[in-house]
Structure 1
């Protein structure tokens, strides 16, 4: 008869595509994790994964078994977590991490509606995920998914970025991508960082090349970049929620077909996935976006 722990190990390997990463996530040794999988495959009577040098690829039987097991295991783990949380002191404080621009525009205006206290922390995506790994944060809003054992990502929303210029800029009236690219490349650019974040995405997605741009100014704050644009310092790429929240007419979106979308995710420790406080905070943030 199959052991329940074999099923849990199988589903964890399926999620991570790796025995070693699954072992880290379940805080087990790699040989023990491999033994669970071997025992389950012997019980099923066929391979559940194709082993390659880089990752574990589920077989058709593996996919079928995962689709049957995953909802059952998640429901059981949620029930177990609810039992545990009922006996724990109320966790009334959530340690929240986000980019400060997103926090200012999207979280801060709704802070008064949250039913729990928050301790906020700001930083780059890699800094915030590192704090999450160290249990210094409970919930992070991030634009990057890092393959980190024990951390799960949940799609939150898309943020849209557009090219923004000073209000008095005159652009060539053209639909020709080559002409657009030539004109844009000749302008003074303001960038969030020296590696041209998001600007590179626009060039790659719409012009199929790397941008040949040396930014005139680097300002690691999207709201300050918008102010610099309004003062005529150059053009840049800004999220539409920041541009739309500005009452100024000194900046405008141009060539709006050249927009790009950036995915945002909630990140949290897998072991805390079913904590009511985490789920309540995710729901509260979603409801106000």
Structure 2
């Protein structure tokens, strides 16, 4: 007789291509997870994965089994969560966390539609995840997807970052990537932090090395950085959803638009609250309007 838990473990291993990652998700030890897989393979009569040094890859039989099992497992878990949610007390106040700038641009316009009282908290991705893990927050928007037991992530959107400069800057017509880097490096830079967040990403992705830049100002607020750019202070890296109006009104401009990077943003929340109406409503409003 097949143990239902073998199926659940198999589906998690399939999704993560890793026994160790699946074990973390299910809050099991790796040997126990491996035993579940071995028992299921013995029952099926053939291997469900091909093992390699870095990950495991499903066999054709494994793919076939997953396509049959996944909808059934999800349906059973949804039913269980629905019954569990019905027994939970209603949350009258939702504690929501996000970066200050994202909240201002994307969440604030939707607050009128929220069918719940909210307490907002602003911080970095690491800070918000820690608060969510500790139950200090109920739902967060984050750029980091760290597999943590009991927390579920849902892809929200991609945010795109570009280099933005004062409108009066004259941009040279350069085709050579090295010359672009040299020209950019000589500019006055404004950074969100000393470690050059996002600026470092652009250099690594496009110039294949760390930037040799000493920012003239550190301003940990993207709206204020944009204002400084508009005032002619220097250049920086800004997400497109923040600077769009500034560029349209010719208060700033994009430098070398091809030198851009993207971040994935996720909604994260405790799985135990997954079926609560207030959480579902906030998720629906954000995903439908971004």
Fold match, TM over 0.5? yes
Q: Deviation per CA, 1:219-278, whole angstroms, max 9, x where unpaired?
A: 111111112212222100111111124486432222222222222111223444444433
Please tell me whether residue 131 in structure 1 is matched to residue 98 in structure 2: no
Partner of 1:256: 257
Partner Cα separation in structure 2 for residue 197 and residue 185 of structure 1: 16
Partner of 1:109: 109
Partner of 2:288: 287
Give how far 1:37 is off.
2.1
Q: Which shifted more, 160-169 or 9-18?
A: 9-18
Q: Deviation per CA, 1:180-223, whole angstroms, max 9, x where unpaired?
A: 22211111111112222211222233333332212122211111
In structure 2, do the counterparts of structure 1 residues 132 and 56 end up closer, same or farther at CA, with 3 Å as the change threshold? Answer: farther
Helix, strand or coil for the counterpart of 1:95?
Answer: strand
Give RMSD over aligned pairs.
2.3
Q: Can you give the 5+ residue segments of structure 2 that lack an aligned partner in the other structure?
A: none
- Equivalent residues in 2 for 1:57-206 (5 A)? 57-206=57-206
Partner Cα separation in structure 1 for residue 39 and residue 277 of structure 2: 34
Partner Cα separation in structure 1 for residue 260 and residue 227 of structure 2: 20
Give how far 1:20 is off.
4.3
TM-score, normalised to structure 2, is 0.89
Partner of 1:212: 212
Helix, strand or coil for the counterpart of 1:283?
Answer: helix
- Aligned length in residues: 289
Contact 1:21 1:149 survives alignment (8 Å): no
TM-score, normalised to structure 1, is 0.89
Helix, strand or coil for the counterpart of 2:258?
Answer: helix
Give how far 1:56 is off.
4.1
Partner Cα separation in structure 1 for residue 287 and residue 13 of structure 2: 30
Q: Can you give the 5+ residue segments of structure 1 that lack an aligned partner in the other structure?
A: none
